[in-house]
Amino acid sequence: MDNVGGVEQPKRVVAIAYVLAAIAVGIFLEKVLELVFGALGVNDFTVFSDWTLSTILGFAIAAVAAIVVWRIHKTQQVSLEIALELRRVSWPSLRETRAATVAVIVASAVAAVILGVFDLVWSWLSAKIY
């Protein structure tokens, strides 16, 4: 990690995030290219054992895009700043997260009951009027 202005920059974590994003985009592009090849009637032949042309093209495009985006100084700087800000966040404990989750579930259930009762009353009232 680089030390800039007394603050360590999480370059390794950001680089790993770029690699994971490239893999996700590669999987997406592979599926899109399979659909495009199928629609155009192009043979999506096997290049290696299980690697088809769409797989290689999808991952190659994703890798090139990740490298190009990483090399843009502004994008790299913003990514590093986001990672630094995430280090400063005070994350809730498991107990706080569980309590907040229970509160949301209870509030949702109460709201559902209130809306259900309102719907029943409204439908009963509408049936009496019409």
Domain boundaries defined on the chain: 1-89, 92-130
Burial of 21 (0-12, 13-18, 19+ CB in 10 A): middle
Q: What is the DSSP string of 2-66?
A: EEETTEEE-HHHHHHHHHHHHHHHHHHHHHHHHHHHHHHT----BSSSS-BHHHHHHHHHHHHHH
Two tokens, residue 14: 């950001």
- List all residues 6 or more positions away from 34 whose beta carbon is below 8 Å from its beta carbon: 44, 52, 54
Rounded-to-integer distance, Cα 56 and Cα 49, Å = 12
30 has a pLDDT exceeding 90: yes
What percentage of residues in the chain have a pLDDT greater than 90? 65
Rounded-to-integer distance, Cα 110 and Cα 101, Å = 14
Residue with tokens 């299980």: 50
Please write the tens of the pLDDT for every residue from 68-78.
999 999 998 99
Per-residue CA distances from 97 to 105, 109, 111, 119 (Å): 12, 18, 21, 32
The pTM (predicted TM-score) of the whole model is 0.64
- Please, which pLDDT band fits residue 109 given cuts at 50, 70 and 90? very high
Pairing of strands 7-9, 2-4: antiparallel
Two tokens, residue 83: 């990672």
pLDDT for the residue 9: 63
